[in-house]
Amino acid sequence: MKKLKSLFLLSLVLLAVSCSDQKNEIKPQDDSAFFSGKEGGSSSSRLPSTSNLKLGDFNGDGRTDVLYATGTEWLVSYGGNTPYVHSAYSAALAKDMAIGDYNGDGKSDVLAGTGHEWLISYGANTNWVHAAYSGALAKDMAIGDYNGDGHSDVLAASGSEWLVSLSATSNWAHYAYSGTLVKDMAIGDYNGDGKSDVLAGTGSEWLISYGANSNWVHAAYSAALPNIMVIGDFNADNHDDVMVGTGSTWMVSYSATSNWTTTNPSETTVGTNLEPGDFNGDGQSDIFYPNGSQWLVAYGAAPGWNVYNNYTQQ
């Protein structure tokens, strides 16, 4: 991973940025027809595709929990270091789920798309509740709180514009014109204003649309693309940061704008299987790594895996 390169400020790469010329005029909500999702690839999960684990804070105690979807029921390890307990009966698998706090009660909820409607299990332990009619599936969704009201919202990209369903229950509202797809986004609150922002990588620089409705703003020069990023607040300043693993080191760009800081100089287990969480509830994001029969946690993305749970399934 190359370091952020401020020297390229005037480079022609600026002219080649595929999405910097997108307009983001806000127009009145149009026909409110719900988007029928067709673009795949959520950037919201780094767990292995074979995993049936999802992370969330399902009991609202500030510590990340691990949900295991068996195909017939959901089991939750609260805090990630307690034995699984039954949460709900459902055939929905991890790949079908979009995790967020859609009712703003501090507990993570499970949203699933059936192909024609969205269903939510609040706290992952209530019966399914109808949320909205939409063909969008979990893989089509970028979950964030785009209006900053404490309720998670769903963003979908049509290939020409971004639409948001507030709290996963409102009609689609136009947010911005952009060709950037969900799979090319990394969602986080990079400026700490309470509203989720969209980061996109062009291969040479990062652009951010703050609140998913501002014009693209240059964030940093980096070749790192969203599909290798782990987003979290690794220094607990309420601004989300970008972590990438290069195969030998982990590096963080704080607020997605600072130069790289190496947080872990000697780690080889990096990349696609990592997921952010806060397992000790200190406000600093940790890295979760499900490694077969063990779950490992690196606190604050600092060096050293800690064996966190020895009796797991996935």
Scanning 3-11, 215-223, 240-248, 277-285 for contacts with Ca ion by CB under 5 A, the matching segment is: 240-248
Which residues are CB-contacts of 146 (< 8 A; sequence separation ≥ 6)?
153, 155, 164, 166, 175, 195, 196, 211, 212, 213
Is 237 one of the binding residues for Ca ion (CB under 5 A)?
yes
Binding-site member from 57, 96, 184, 189 for Ca ion (CB under 5 A): 189
Nearer to Ca ion, 237 or 282 (CB): 237
Nearer to Ca ion, 99 or 309 (CB): 99
Q: Which of 57, 114, 126, 117 is nearest to 87 (CA)?
A: 126
d(CA 242, CA 245): 10
CB atoms within 10 A of CB 136: 25
Scanning 145-153, 171-179, 269-277, 290-298 for contacts with Ca ion by CB under 5 A, the matching segment is: 145-153
CB-count burial class (<10 Å; 0-12, 13-18, 19+) for 215: middle
d(CA 175, CA 292): 41
CB of 44 to Ca ion, least distance (A): 16
Phi, then psi, of 139 in degrees rounded to 5 = -70, -15
Binding-site member from 96, 161, 197, 205 for Ca ion (CB under 5 A): 197
Scanning 65-73, 176-184, 233-241, 295-303 for contacts with Ca ion by CB under 5 A, the matching segment is: 233-241
Binding-site member from 44, 77, 81, 235 for Ca ion (CB under 5 A): 235
Cα separation values, 36 from 69, 102, 158, 172, Å: 26, 20, 9, 11
Is 239 one of the binding residues for Ca ion (CB under 5 A)?
yes
Residues 98-117 binding Ca ion (CB under 5 A) are 101, 103, 105, 107, 109
CB of 121 to Ca ion, least distance (A): 10
d(CA 19, CA 98): 26
Binding-site member from 21, 30, 73, 149 for Ca ion (CB under 5 A): 149
Scanning 32-40, 96-104, 174-182, 288-296 for contacts with Ca ion by CB under 5 A, the matching segment is: 96-104
Scanning 26-34, 86-94, 139-147, 294-302 for contacts with Ca ion by CB under 5 A, the matching segment is: 139-147
d(CA 114, CA 120): 11
54-93 mask for Ca ion (x: CB under 5 A)? ----------------------------------------
Q: Total binding residues for Ca ion by CB under 5 A?
A: 20
Residues near Ca ion, by CB under 5 A: 101, 103, 105, 107, 109, 145, 147, 149, 151, 153, 189, 191, 193, 195, 197, 233, 235, 237, 239, 241
